[in-house]
Structure 1
Amino acid sequence: MDPHLLRTYVTVARLASFSAAARELGYTQSAVSQHIAALEQDLGTPLLTRRPVAPTAAGERLSEHAGPLLLRLDAARADIARTAAAPEQGLTLATTPTALGPGVLASLPAAGATLRVLPRDAVPAAVVTGGADLGLVDGLAAPSDPLRLPDVAPLTTRGVAEEPVRVLLPATHPLAGRLALRLGDLADARWLDAPDAGLPLDRLRALNGGRGFRPSVRCEGTDLRSLTALAAAGHGLALLPASAAVSVPGAVAVPVSEPRVVHRVELVHAGVPAGAAAVLAAALTAVA
């Protein structure tokens, strides 16, 4: 399967337009049509309906495979480029907003670093494709248990931080005076769904046997400040690392007693870090 044809297919399917795909890819519309026809001939089945432009059943299945396949190819290209290139002086770190705890922040270099705050699933992809030298991913886990990361390409992971989690709720909430809360008792409460700024609700649902934790408001993006403001204003509860839940005006952060989970941060990198990346990796590991 020709990856150039596959990229064309993915773009047409995403934009639902041959002409829009041609503009984005820098091809003529005729070339895009030829790419799709060649791919359909190779696979022996139609992949797109034409009016309207939409994936067929076979096209939907191809779309499921296309993302990981193309990401693997980009990762291979970036890995070879890293091997051949001379070490650079700068450092790019991809991270989720809640991975930036006190220990991580203290380890960052004083100058020469670029910080890319990304959605949780985008951090490993940024590392393997060369968009970042190192990555920091985070999530809920049992103490000392590794996180389950998407299988995008070969990556090395190291745990660099663990801290307790807190339920953030308004200071006027009936449960604000509790010393601790059990997550199972809050399954029917109103929650904020912020998969990239906070700790995802699907993980809480999994811990509760797949039940409860329905969102009242969905927050898209990586703006942690907006998430905490919504919680303080009573629009829903949020589960956050202890360091991210402190000092929020109008809100109270109550510890979680059950289940026994922590907020875990892991460093991810492809290959062997060099230069500034190696220095930061060593500093983060020493903190852990």
Structure 2
Amino acid sequence: MDPHLLRTFVTVVHWRSFSAAAEELGYTQSAVSQQIAALEADLGLALLHRRPVRPTPAGERLLEHAGPLLLRHRAARADVLRAATGPIERLSVVASPLACTPAIARSLARERLAVTLRTAGRESVAEQIASGAADLGFVDGIAAPSDPLRLPDAGSPAGVGVAEEELVVVLPTGHPLSRRRGLALADLADALWLQAPAAVSVERLRELSGVGGFRVGFHYDGEDLRTVLNLAAAGHGLTLLPSSVTAGVPLSAPRVVHRVEMLHSPLAAGPAAAVAGRLG
């Protein structure tokens, strides 16, 4: 299948509109219609209902494969371009909100060159590395000691563990449990919790503890860690954070840690390879 036709198909499904897809892609509406017709002719199947615009059962199945296929196409293109251009002079790094540990920050500083670091969601980090949008990626999450993180199948290499540290329960100021030497997650199921990109989700808390509960007390859609800490201190909800980030009561059960993994495609000699070599 032609990846350009596949991209047009995905865009039409996303917008549920041929005209909106044409505007995003920079084509005419007629060109979009012709490309969808060409893709349907290639497969010998109708992929879209026209009024309203929505995928047929065959289109739904194709959509399941389209994302990974397009991502791998971009990754292959980026890999070929990297091999042709040789070592890079600038370093592009993408990290999930809590993945840039002090050790990683120090390692990046040692290169003494222009480093661009941007924050992204955990799934987006893997996708950006696979597509060549960044040279190095760092993702964080909660896992059993020495266990790998569960990363999305984005065509990127498996993560290499670079850091593990204790998790602490962040409580409101003056909370009666703040003097405890340790807290079990299952004992906190009735408490209100913060739901934020920089913090563990309530769904993951239920999975880790094996019990229900863990109600959301406050939704915060930003990634500013200071805001998360202020919300927790004010009593809007508990959260789990790495011990290097803030003070709190150590999580005693289950036995899990905050883990950071490094992602990268095959690297030529240069700053990205140097950083990866030091951390890996």
Correspondence for 1:250: none
Task: Name the CA distance, whole Å, in 2 between partners of 1:57 and 1:191.
Answer: 39
- Paired-residue identity, %: 58
Equivalent in 244, 257, 264 of residue 259 of structure 2: 264
Correspondence for 1:184: 186
Q: Deviations 1:122-151 (Å, cap 9, x if unpaired)?
A: 111111211111111111111112212222
Give the direction of change, closer, same or farther, for the CA distance of 1:147–1:17 in structure 2 (3 Å limit). same
Task: Name the CA distance, whole Å, in 2 between partners of 1:64 and 1:239.
Answer: 34
Q: Deviations 1:196-232 (Å, cap 9, x if unpaired)?
A: 3223333322223363334333333433333222222
SS at match of 1:191: strand
Equivalent in 268, 271, 275 of residue 270 of structure 2: 275
Query: Are residues 1:125 and 2:127 paired?
Result: yes
- Offset at 1:95? 0.7
Pairs within 5 Å for 1:1-288? 1-109=1-109, 110-194=112-196, 196-209=197-210, 211-246=212-247, 253-285=248-280
The alignment yields a C-alpha RMSD, in angstroms, of 1.9
Amino acid paired to 2:273: A
Contact 1:197 1:224 in 2 (8 A): yes
Task: Name the CA distance, whole Å, in 1 between partners of 2:227 and 2:186.
Answer: 26
SS at match of 2:30: helix
Contact 1:95 1:116 in 2 (8 A): yes
Task: Name the CA distance, whole Å, in 1 between partners of 2:165 and 2:91.
Answer: 26
Amino acid paired to 2:269: A
SS at match of 2:61: helix
Unaligned segments of structure 1, at least 5 residues: 247-252
Task: Name the CA distance, whole Å, in 2 between partners of 1:203 and 1:102.
Answer: 25
Q: Deviations 1:230-279 (Å, cap 9, x if unpaired)?
A: 22222211111112234xxxxxx211000111111111111135211122
TM-score by length of 1: 0.89
Amino acid paired to 1:106: R
Pairs aligned (count) = 278
Amino acid paired to 2:226: R
SS at match of 2:122: coil
Give the direction of change, closer, same or farther, for the CA distance of 1:45–1:173 in structure 2 (3 Å limit). farther
Amino acid paired to 1:89: E
Amino acid paired to 2:100: L
Task: Name the CA distance, whole Å, in 2 between partners of 1:41 and 1:28.
Answer: 20
Stretch deviating more after TM superposition (48-57 or 65-74)? 48-57
Task: Name the CA distance, whole Å, in 2 between partners of 1:132 and 1:275.
Answer: 14
Amino acid paired to 1:207: L
